[in-house]
Structure 1
Amino acid sequence: MNLLDYRPGTSPVHRAPLWTKYLVVLVLSAVLVFWRQPVVIAVILAAVFALYWVAGLPREFLAPWRRGWPLLVFAGLARWISAVWGAAAVPPAEALGPAAVVVAAIFGALAAARLLVVTTPGTELLDGMERFFGALRPIGVHPQSAALAVNVMIRSIPWVGAAVRHNGEALASRGLRRGPVRLMGPVLVAAVGHARATGEALAARGLPDDGEETHAGRETHAG
C-alpha cells in the first residue's frame, strides 16, 4: 500500500531537514488560517509555488486542486451560504469574495503540506512523526500507530475528493442531478469501505495492536 507520493530529487527543498519543512508548513498554514486577507494569501500562494519550482515540481502545485476540488468547492459554498443567510446577511455578490478567500486559504495549506510529502521519503516522514509522538508515550500514545494515522489521513484527503468526483460522474451518466444529498450517501459508504480496507491492510503488515502491546508490556513489567 503506497501511503505517500514521494518524488525523488536533489533540490534544496528535498535536502532540507525534516524539522525545517515541518516548521515552514506550520507557519504558512497558521498565516493562511488566522490572517485571511487576499493580499496575504496571494503572497503565501506565490511563496508555496516558488518552493515547488525550486524543488523542480511546479506541475505538482495544482495537485491538491485536481484531487480535492469537490471538497474545496464545498468549503467555499459553505462559507458563501453562511455569509448570505447568516446573521450579517451579506448580499450574494459580496459573499463571493470571502468564499474565494476561504478556498484559496485551504488550497494553500494543502499545497504546502503536499510539498512536504512529495519531497520527503515516506520512511523519513514516519520516523520523524514517531519521534514526535514518542514524547507522548507516557500518556498512552503509541508513536508508530499515531504516525501511520497521520499519514493515512494525508493520503485520504485526495481519495475522498476523487470519490466525490466519481460518484458525481455516475449520477450524471444516469441523467440525475448532482447534489449534496445524492452524493453524501455513496461517498460515506465508499469512505467507510476505504477506511476498513486501509485498516485491514495495515494490520496485515504488522501494525501493532495497542491493547495487545499494553497487555504484553504489563506482563513483562510484572515478571
Structure 2
Amino acid sequence: MNNELRVKVAKRVAEELNDGDIINLGVGIPTLIPDYLGDKKVYLHSENGLLGMGPTPPEDEINMDLISASKKPITMDIGASLFDSSDSFVMIRGGHIDMAVLGALQIDETGEIANWAIPGKTILGVGGAMDLVAGAKKIIIASSHQAKDGSPKFVKKLTFPSSGARKVDMLVTEHAVFKFKDGGCELVEILSDISVEELRDITDANFTVNQESMNL
C-alpha cells in the first residue's frame, strides 16, 4: 500500500480518538497518526516509556535518542513524561490505556488478530502486542486490506499465530471501516470507490452491512 493510502487510513483512525484519551500506537500505519490529530488533545503513549508523544520532527531536528517503540523519530509534547518501560507495561496491564491502535497481519471475522509472526519466517518477538490486546480498553486495527501478494488480510479464520483471545473493536483499511460486536462483523463505511460486492471479492471474512450508516 502506497504512502497516500497509509495516510488515508491514519486520518480516518484519528477521527475516532477522543480528547483526553491515553492512546498507544503500534507499528506501521499507527505511527502516522500523530501528524494528523488536528486540534485533538490526546495523550499518546509509547511502550518504551513515554506519555505525551508529539508529531514527527523535521529532518534537521531528528534526535535518534528520542524514538517511539517502532524506532521512529518523535517529538515530545509540552508536559510529556519519560519513564522506565516496566512502568509503561504496568500502565498497559493495569488497564490505564484507553485505546490501542495496532497494525495486523490478519484479522478474523470475530475480531481476533495476528500481528507478530508469519509461519516459516523469522520471528522478531511479540513485543507489547499481547499486553495491549489484553489490556487496552478499546482496540482499533489500522491495516491495508490485502497483503503484498494480494491475499486477503481480513479472513474467516486466522492461519497465523494469534495475538490473544481478546477481540478488537474496529478495523480501518483503505477501502472500508468495520465494527465487531457479539462475535460478528459489520461494514459501517466505505472509504474508496469500491462497491460492496467488489469488497466481498477481496475479503475472505463474512460481514453484514449496516444499511443505515451506509445510506442504502
Question: What TM-score results when the alignment is normalised by the length of structure 1?
Answer: 0.26
**Which is richer in helix?**
1
For the pair shown, which has the larger CA radius of gyration, 1 or 2?
1
**Which is richer in strand?**
2
Instruction: Identify the structure with bigger relative contact order (alpha carbons < 8 Å, sequence gap 6+).
Output: 1
